[in-house]
Amino acid sequence: MKFYFHLNIDTFSNTYVVLDEHSKCAVIIDPGKPTNEVLKQIETDGYTLCAALITHNHEENIRGLNTLRRIYDLSVYAADIDVANTAETTIKGDGILKFGGINVEYFSVPGHTADSIVYKIGTVLFTGDVISAGEIGSTTSSYAKNLLCKGIQSKIFTLSDDTVIMASHGPMTSVSAEKMYNLAAASPAIKHKNLFTGL
């Protein structure tokens, strides 16, 4: 399995491409801007773009969908039916998808938006705006922030420590690092432990 990232300078957002060498299947995550480089990566060596996975319905994550739909016969998976377009590709809660040799687990983690979904492929977790290096996604109320933190702690922090997190914004990180250093979601017990380190 090959993973690629592209930084969209306009919106500071990341787009990811996952390629499976055996089934020649490609999946794109949050296609903010499908540049020539992205398309070349998919089409070199004869890959077929099987699906677009959307973490949430924000402009910087879906802006490239219309272009991709014009080029490819593409299934778009999202929790928001306005983005997915069909009931079959509208996903809710937690579940598993399979595209060629690519197995995708997905988990609903609302809070930043109601339709926020994270996708896990192998040991890589694509989190959109749910969690990024040291930070969590913006929220509009304390209720939403609590909901988001609880979702992160129950569905992301329970994953293996070496799970790599790739977010819509900023650099990559890992579950173990976020458990210790995330400004909002690191568990109080770990924060407390850090406070007394070195005394």
Partner 1 sequence: MISDFDSNWNIIDSDYCLMHAPNAEEITHKMFHYIAHTEKIIGLNASGVAFSNIDDFNLTNKRFYGCNFMQCIFRGLQSKGFRSRMSTFDFAVFSDCNLLESNIQFTSFAGAKFSHVLFTGSDMIQDNFTGLESFQSSFDDSDLYNSRFIKARLIDTSIRNCNIKNTVFREIEQQNLSFRLSNTNEAIFDERGSALFTGMKELDNPVGAKI
Residue 100 vs 134, nearer CB to partner 1: 134
What tokens appear for 186 in the block?
A: 């690191």
What letter would DSSP give residue 169?
B
Phi, psi (degrees; rounded to nearest 5) at 152 = -65, -45
Residue 85 vs 169, nearer CB to partner 1: 169
* Minimum distance from residue 45 beta carbon to partner 1 (Å): 15
Residue 74 vs 190, nearer CB to partner 1: 190
* Minimum distance from residue 83 beta carbon to partner 1 (Å): 26
Residue 109 vs 165, nearer CB to partner 1: 165
Report the C-alpha gap between 128 and 116 in whole angstroms.
8
* Minimum distance from residue 125 beta carbon to partner 1 (Å): 13
SS3 53: strand
Residue 74 vs 177, nearer CB to partner 1: 177
* Minimum distance from residue 55 beta carbon to partner 1 (Å): 18
Contacting positions for partner 1 (CB under 8 A): 2-3, 5, 7, 12, 133-135, 162, 164, 170-174, 176-177, 180-181, 183
Q: What angle do CA 90, 91, 93 make, to 5 degrees?
A: 150
SS3 146: helix
Report the C-alpha gap between 55 and 28 in whole angstroms.
11
* Minimum distance from residue 13 beta carbon to partner 1 (Å): 11
Report the C-alpha gap between 28 and 76 in whole angstroms.
10
Number of CB atoms found within 10 A of residue 183's CB: 10
* Minimum distance from residue 178 beta carbon to partner 1 (Å): 8
Residue 74 vs 172, nearer CB to partner 1: 172
- 191 contact partners, CB below 8 Å, separation of at least 6: none
